[in-house]
Amino acid sequence: MKYYKLILRIVFSLILVFLIYGCASKETVKTTTIYLQEIELIGPINQSPIHLTDSSETPSITFSPKFSYNTNKNVDGKIKGHTPVNENGIFQIDTVFNPDGSLSHYQEAPGANRFQYTQNNLFWDMPSVSAGLDVDIKISRNFALFGGVNYMVENNKSLWGGNIGLGLFGISQKGFAFRFDVGTHFQSIAYDAFTVESVQITGPSVSDEYVIFYHDVDEVTNWNPFVNLTINSCFPEWIFNFFLNTGYSWQTLVDFDPQKPDDRYYEYELNPFYSDREIVYDLRGESTIGFFHFTPGLTFNFADNARLLVGSRFYFITQLKDASTTLFILPMMQLDFSL
């Protein structure tokens, strides 16, 4: 009886192993690796709002049209996710033909792309002039809600953005005030991106590999947080008062999915291989950079409820690899009208 049970266990185990192995051996797997070759961007730097404090009276509302000029319009850098390249720095591919001589598909040249790409592949074009309107609503003696919109045009691209958030403020009897803001930027940015998908299909009855090239031209709106501190003097008898605004902001540059095959390469129809399992490795990631900024300036009260702000905004990039420049200087002007 014991031998009988032992034989049954052995037979059952063999059948289970056979089933598992048999199913695994019949599985067709499609593995896709996504690379970002190059991207060109059009859009402004996310500029945090400047809110001055000269009174704790509430409720009140302040409208602030603003303008800034960018003295450095272009920056390029390196973003992760480029394909390996050959010794000449080029992603080398081979053309595979059908028996009748027509194009079948493209595939990566075996053994050719053995080197890491070392050149910059992100190129950012910024507008010279950016205009906007901020609205600040004091809801109590220490708290305020704010929001705003901005608009720019560059290379026939019209792009909108803005900000929303909450402010904490206070004023001392010595004539100085502070304002701490925390909020979120939203900004549309235009992109022109070249992407590569490298596909491998393996299975018991099929084995193939090919590459698909994408060229996407579109716009996307990104949301990013910021923190901001403003210190200002508020002496009514002075002709000019001063302010200092400083903070840190984040800005997403790359966050999209490739959609449109590149017409220069996509001249064939790939065989619709059936796959039991799909694996996707997206090496592009999302590129979010950081800016440390500060803005010194002067204010001039030309009416009981109106003032002029002038200053220069200094923005330092902190998270873009091999950036061609890390400092941006943006002279600015702002008008505050309070109700």
Residue 4 pLDDT greater than 60, yes or no: no
Residue 206 pLDDT greater than 90, yes or no: no
pLDDT band at 12 (very low <50, low <70, confident <90, very high): low
Distance CA 107, CA 264 (A): 15
Whether residue 107 is contained in a domain is answered as no
Whether residue 99 is contained in a domain is answered as no
Q: What is the pLDDT of residues 13-39, one digit of tens each?
A: 655 554 455 554 568 888 999 999 999
Share of the chain above pLDDT 70, in %: 90
**pLDDT, position 100:** 82
pTM here is 0.85
Share of the chain above pLDDT 90, in %: 61
Whether residue 91 is contained in a domain is answered as no
Q: Which of 333, 297, 292 is nearest to 315 (CA)?
A: 292
Residue type, 328: F
Whether residue 87 is contained in a domain is answered as no
Residues facing 166 on adjacent strands:
145, 182
Q: Which of 188, 291, 186, 294 is nearest to 249 (CA)?
A: 291
Would you mind telling me the total number of residues written for the chain in this entry?
339
**pLDDT, position 304:** 81
| Domain of 285, in residue numbers | 2-82+117-338
Whether residue 241 is contained in a domain is answered as yes
**pLDDT, position 8:** 55
> 3-state class of 21 per DSSP?
helix
Tell me the CATH number at 62: 2.40.160.20
Count up the domains in the chain and report the number: 1
DSSP string, 212-239: EEEEEEEEEEEEEEEEEEEEEE--TTSS
Whether residue 98 is contained in a domain is answered as no
pLDDT band at 284 (very low <50, low <70, confident <90, very high): confident
Q: List C-alpha distances in Å: 143 to 75, 167, 174, 226, 238.
A: 38, 6, 21, 17, 27
Whether residue 220 is contained in a domain is answered as yes
